[in-house]
């Protein structure tokens, strides 16, 4: 497994897991949030960048962006990892990271992020899963909920 697509709610730990998987496998992390912000939110440029990065032999793709990117990423993925963390865990992580030095998330964005987290299961997950099936019906999926499940998964790689 050299091409892993990480999905989950904001605050679920996608970026942390991406770093751990990169350390374990040597595959580079493709951080979709960082690329999106760096491209001034121009969809065509964002997609072009992702197409080049996901053409590599190995990668850990960190982020959802399903409607805009699954047609590019999903067919190349060897594995999809869903982080199915409890809503309260995601909310707590979003709150605490807002106050960490060097963090790009700002306290002024917190209400929007918390609303996104609270509604993720009802609004976003169904759309993401439908697009996942549409663009990668044969890509295996692993669902991880707890720290111990995540640690065991990383160890197995």
pLDDT tens digits for range 6-39: 999 999 999 999 999 999 999 999 999 888 876 6
CATH number of 35's domain: 3.40.50.300
User: What is the domain count for the chain?
Assistant: 1
Give dist(CA 70, CA 118) in Å, integer: 24
pLDDT at residue 40 above 60? no
- Model confidence pTM above 0.85: yes
The DSSP secondary structure of 53-86, one letter per residue, reads HTTSS-EEEE---HHHHHHHHGGG-SEEEEE---
- Range of 21's domain? 3-156
């Amino acid at each position: 497994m050299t091409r892993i697509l990480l999905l989950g709610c904001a605050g679920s730990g996608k970026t942390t897991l991406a770093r751990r998987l990169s350390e374990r496998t040597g595959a580079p992390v493709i951080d979709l949030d960082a690329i999106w912000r760096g491209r001034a939110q121009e969809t065509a440029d964002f997609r072009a960048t992702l197409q080049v990065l996901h053409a590599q032999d190995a990668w850990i793709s960190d982020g959802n962006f399903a409607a805009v990117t699954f047609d590019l990423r999903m067919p190349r993925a060897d594995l999809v990892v869903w982080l199915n963390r409890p809503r309260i865990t995601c909310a707590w992580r979003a709150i605490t990271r807002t106050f960490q030095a060097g963090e790009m998330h700002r306290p002024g964005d917190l209400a929007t992020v918390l609303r996104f987290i609270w509604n993720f299961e009802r609004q976003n997950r169904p759309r993401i899963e439908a697009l996942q099936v549409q663009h990668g019906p044969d890509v295996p999926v692993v669902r991880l909920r707890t720290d111990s499940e995540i640690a065991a998964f990383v160890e197995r790689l």
